[in-house]
């Protein structure tokens, strides 16, 4: 005889998903009414393991798609077929997905095809350009069409869903990334973790990985970084490189011989937050880092032509610069010369919530399941 009322499945595959889903899983685990299981797709195995270790979590199944597929269509096909079996065996009452990854889309579709309710965390983000970012903009739109519970991080995301014709079970929950930041704040080390003194030296934290920036755009970004370093001899860049060779090789080729540019492997989450917290400026094409940098009050240049998080632009601490080397150089120079170029309260901002998103989502989910 089971000693719980509801089985809740979480499907995830990337490090950002793990960071944002972990606080929610922990919150559900507090309820005696709930049993949780976790299915990993295998998109980011090692990087997820380090996140799960922080939060003391372990998956129930790993589909290992990265070892078995090389294309998006293969990945989706594998996730669908494997989750079909997993759901048949476990019979969850609801399936949670987060964000806009291939794993999130395939996980939601697999649940939908089994007529299992879908809950979408971080629902309603839009650029309104189907090709930017690709394929994430399409993924999140399709997920919204088959979702039963929509948890929007902000009012703008909430209104996006309304405008698209979705009218039921939409909630403004805040973003669980803030919950994660709060949970790990006491665990963060207080000593340097890279080859510079992050407490004293001026450095720009840079991340780039998005598919639309592969090829010439990454090289243009690297060119802009080189131009900045040439004119600011004491300035450092810390660049944790994505494991994808299409990202790593151009960066190593163009930036690898410059002593002021630290090209490193992806950092553990706690280390990354420490480096982010002490950075001078953030240069990124990441969605999650936009939220984290904004919440921590960091000036930020976004290496994209559009963002599904317009809140960071409206908040006054971010600017879209795309991948044009001259624009990157120009805007970075402005920030370096004038620390007040972005008028921003340096204290933690609550644009993406107050750290209670997980509690809210658990409450609304249990109410939905009860009905």
Model confidence pLDDT, tens digit, residues 288-298? 999 999 999 89
Instruction: Grade residue 187 by pLDDT with cuts at 50, 70 and 90.
Output: confident
Average pLDDT over all residues of the chain: 92
Residue 1 scores a pLDDT above 70: no
Quote the pLDDT of residue 186. Answer: 80
Quote the pLDDT of residue 343. Answer: 55
Quote the pLDDT of residue 345. Answer: 47
Q: Poorest-confidence range of 69-78, 106-115, 202-211, 321-330?
A: 69-78
Q: How far apart are CA 157 and CA 173, in angstroms?
A: 11
Predicted TM-score (pTM) of this structure: 0.93
CB proximity list for 3: less than 8 A, separation 6 or greater = none
State the catalytic residues: 100, 122, 136, 209, 211, 242
CB proximity list for 174: less than 8 A, separation 6 or greater = 153, 154, 352, 353, 354, 355, 356, 357, 360
Quote the pLDDT of residue 91. Answer: 97
Model confidence pLDDT, tens digit, residues 302-321? 999 999 999 999 877 899 99
Model confidence pLDDT, tens digit, residues 334-361? 888 876 666 554 555 789 999 999 999 9
Model confidence pLDDT, tens digit, residues 116-142? 999 999 999 999 999 989 999 999 999
Domains and CATH numbers, the chain: 6-175+353-370 (3.40.50.2000), 203-337 (3.40.50.2000)
Q: How far apart are CA 346 and CA 174, in angstroms?
A: 20
Quote the pLDDT of residue 24. Answer: 98
* SS3 state of residue 119: strand
Model confidence pLDDT, tens digit, residues 34-77? 999 999 998 877 789 989 999 999 999 999 987 787 789 999 99
Quote the pLDDT of residue 317. Answer: 82
Instruction: Grade residue 170 by pLDDT with cuts at 50, 70 and 90.
Output: very high
Q: How far apart are CA 69 and CA 71, in angstroms?
A: 6
Find the distance separating the first CA and the last CA of the chain, reported in whole Å.
Answer: 23
Quote the pLDDT of residue 192. Answer: 65
Q: How many CB atoms lie within 10 A of CB 223?
A: 18
Quote the pLDDT of residue 265. Answer: 92
């Amino acid at each position: 005889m089971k000693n719980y009322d509801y089985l809740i499945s979480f499907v995830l595959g990337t490090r950002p998903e793990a960071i944002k889903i972990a606080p929610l899983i922990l919150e559900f685990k507090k309820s005696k009414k709930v049993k949780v299981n976790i299915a990993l797709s295998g998109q980011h195995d090692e990087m997820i393991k380090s996140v799960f270790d922080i939060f003391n979590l372990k998956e129930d199944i790993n589909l290992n798609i990265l070892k078995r597929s090389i294309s998006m269509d293969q990945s989706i096909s594998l996730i669908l077929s494997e989750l079909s079996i997993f759901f048949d065996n476990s019979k969850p009452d609801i399936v949670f997905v987060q964000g806009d990854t291939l794993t999130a889309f395939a996980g939601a579709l697999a649940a939908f095809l089994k007529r299992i309710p879908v809950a979408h965390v971080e629902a309603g983000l839009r650029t309104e350009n189907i090709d930017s970012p690709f394929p994430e903009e399409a993924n999140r739109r399709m997920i919204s069409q088959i979702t039963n519970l929509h948890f929007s991080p902000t009012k703008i995301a909430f209104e996006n869903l309304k405008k698209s014709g979705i009218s039921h079970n939409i909630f403004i929950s805040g973003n669980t990334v803030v919950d994660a930041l709060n949970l790990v704040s006491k665990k963060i080390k207080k000593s340097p973790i890279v080859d510079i003194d992050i407490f004293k030296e001026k450095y720009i934290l840079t991340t780039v990985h998005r598919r639309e920036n592969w090829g010439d755009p990454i090289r243009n970004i690297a060119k802009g970084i080189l131009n900045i370093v040439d004119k600011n001899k004491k300035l450092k860049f810390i660049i944790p490189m994505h494991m994808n060779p299409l990202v790593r090789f151009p960066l190593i080729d163009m930036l690898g011989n410059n002593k002021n540019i630290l090209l490193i492997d992806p950092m553990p989450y706690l280390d990354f937050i420490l480096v982010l917290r002490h950075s001078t400026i953030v240069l990124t094409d990441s969605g999650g880092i936009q939220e984290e940098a904004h919440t921590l009050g960091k000036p930020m240049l976004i290496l994209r032509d559009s963002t599904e998080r317009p809140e960071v632009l409206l908040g006054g601490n971010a600017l879209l610069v795309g991948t044009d080397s001259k624009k990157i150089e120009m805007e970075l120079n402005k920030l370096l010369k004038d620390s007040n170029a972005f008028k921003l309260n340096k204290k933690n901002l609550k644009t993406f919530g107050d750290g209670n998103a997980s509690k809210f989502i658990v409450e609304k989910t249990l109410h939905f399941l009860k009905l």
